[in-house]
């Protein structure tokens, strides 16, 4: 039997090698809702844990599936679907603040300690907020293809403001039972994928356009620069140098604003985690290894 064909995307110009998709389960976060989680064990019970947060319009698996197996050679690896993405929590509004609280709740439910929180693009913004709102659960940060703020020029301000207003009008459509059933059915296709291309399409379609718009509007309001300098955990920033979504200069600015952050460059665009994973994964693993090594000596100052 011939091996499964690789995943071809963007007019077949980019490919991702076949990798096994880890199984997952629905996890109840008390008082918050239910989300889809994968939990891949590391080489030993005392392996450090890496929590992976996905990009806008994606899911935990869709952003990170090329990376999980390699990362699990040294770490326990956890992914989750964030609010209104995939099988993530449904709520009246999309809030980055709530997304960060969800991560902390998952850490508690799974009984995790010494966690390295990793975020890609939107996930990187959420990871920043996890440290801001729940510093006690964060042992280190890896921020990939992300920034500390948007709306830096009139065109961006107009885009984010308009997106929020447009998607507000579509809210009731997105809440309909038919739409939710369709999203859930598409997401459930990940449980036993037979073809990785069909799986990826189903995974992408499991997030509604309303969710993407609401997340964009929330990202437009994000601004972490005033407190970035107070981040006190080991941090690495993975910079995608050919990025046309979040320019490399903004990613570098993020790194420079965080005391002691290391930079790890990847000569690729914004979707490097999947479309150019052969470039992204080695640089990403280096970033995680750097943070993990430094986090062993990290001790948060005590007060009182």
The whole-number pLDDT of residue 179 equals: 41
Q: Assess if residue 1 is contained within a domain.
A: no
Q: What percent of the chain has pLDDT over 70?
A: 74
Q: Considering only 8-12, 65-69, 150-154, 188-192, which range has the smallest mean pLDDT?
A: 8-12
The band of 30, judged by pLDDT with boundaries at 50, 70 and 90, is very high
Bigger pLDDT: 27 vs 190: 27
The band of 18, judged by pLDDT with boundaries at 50, 70 and 90, is low
Tens-place pLDDT, residues 78-100: 999 999 899 999 888 889 999 99
Q: Assess if residue 303 is contained within a domain.
A: no
Q: What are phi and psi of 293, to 5 degrees?
A: -65, -40
Bigger pLDDT: 105 vs 174: 105
**Average pLDDT, integer, range 294-298:** 85
Domain extent at residue 14? 7-295
- Sequence-separated (6 or more) residues with CB below 8 Å from residue 36: 24, 25, 26, 27, 59, 60, 80, 81, 86, 87, 88, 187
Q: Rounded mean pLDDT of the chain? A: 81
The whole-number pLDDT of residue 151 equals: 54
Total domains in the fold of the chain: 1
Tens-place pLDDT, residues 164-213: 443 344 344 444 444 444 444 433 433 344 455 566 667 767 777 767 77
Q: Assess if residue 301 is contained within a domain.
A: no
Bigger pLDDT: 297 vs 162: 297
The band of 157, judged by pLDDT with boundaries at 50, 70 and 90, is very low
Q: Assess if residue 188 is contained within a domain.
A: yes
Tokens in use for 166? 């447009």
Q: Assess if residue 302 is contained within a domain.
A: no
pLDDT at 51 over 60: yes
pLDDT at 4 over 50: no
CATH number reported for the structural domain that contains residue 28 in this entry: 3.40.50.1820
Tens-place pLDDT, residues 233-266: 999 999 999 998 889 999 999 999 999 999 999 9
The C-alpha atoms of residue 284 and residue 111 are separated, in whole angstroms, by 25
Q: What are phi and psi of 142, to 5 degrees?
A: -130, 120
CA distances for 90 relative to 84, 175, 185, 215, 263, angstroms: 5, 9, 15, 13, 35
Tens-place pLDDT, residues 175-188: 444 444 444 443 34
Q: Assess if residue 43 is contained within a domain.
A: yes
The whole-number pLDDT of residue 107 equals: 98
Q: Assess if residue 300 is contained within a domain.
A: no
The helix/strand/coil state of 230 is coil
Q: Assess if residue 139 is contained within a domain.
A: yes
**Average pLDDT, integer, range 147-166:** 54
pTM (whole model) above 0.75: yes
């Amino acid at each position: 039997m011939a091996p499964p064909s690789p995943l071809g995307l963007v007019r077949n110009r980019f490919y991702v090698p076949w990798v096994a998709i880890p199984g997952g389960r629905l996890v109840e976060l008390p008082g918050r809702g239910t989300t889809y989680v994968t939990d891949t064990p590391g080489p030993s019970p005392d392996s450090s844990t890496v929590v992976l947060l996905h990009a806008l319009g994606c899911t935990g698996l869709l952003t990170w599936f090329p990376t999980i197996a390699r990362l699990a050679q040294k770490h326990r690896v956890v992914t989750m679907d964030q609010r209104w993405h995939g099988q993530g929590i449904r709520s009246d509004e999309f809030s980055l603040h709530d997304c960060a609280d969800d991560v902390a709740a998952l850490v508690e439910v799974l009984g995790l300690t010494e966690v390295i929180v990793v975020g890609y693009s939107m996930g990187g913004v959420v990871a920043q907020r996890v440290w801001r709102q729940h510093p006690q659960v964060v042992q280190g940060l890896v921020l990939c293809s992300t920034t500390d703020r948007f709306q830096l020029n009139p065109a961006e301000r107009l885009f984010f403001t308009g997106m929020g207003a447009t998607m507000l009008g579509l809210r009731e459509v997105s809440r309909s039972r038919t739409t939710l059933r369709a999203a859930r059915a598409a997401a459930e296709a990940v449980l036993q994928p037979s073809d990785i291309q069909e799986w990826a399409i189903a995974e992408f379609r499991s997030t509604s356009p309303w969710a993407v718009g609401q997340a964009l509007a929330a990202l437009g309001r994000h601004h972490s620069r005033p407190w970035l300098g107070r981040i006190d955990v080991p941090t690495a920033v993975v910079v995608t140098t050919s990025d046309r979504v979040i320019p490399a200069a903004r990613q570098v600015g993020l790194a420079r604003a965080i005391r002691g952050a290391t930079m790890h460059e990847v000569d690729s665009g914004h979707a490097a985690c999947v479309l150019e994973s052969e470039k992204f994964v080695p640089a990403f693993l280096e970033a995680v290894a750097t943070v993990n090594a430094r986090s062993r000596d990290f001790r948060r100052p005590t007060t009182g």
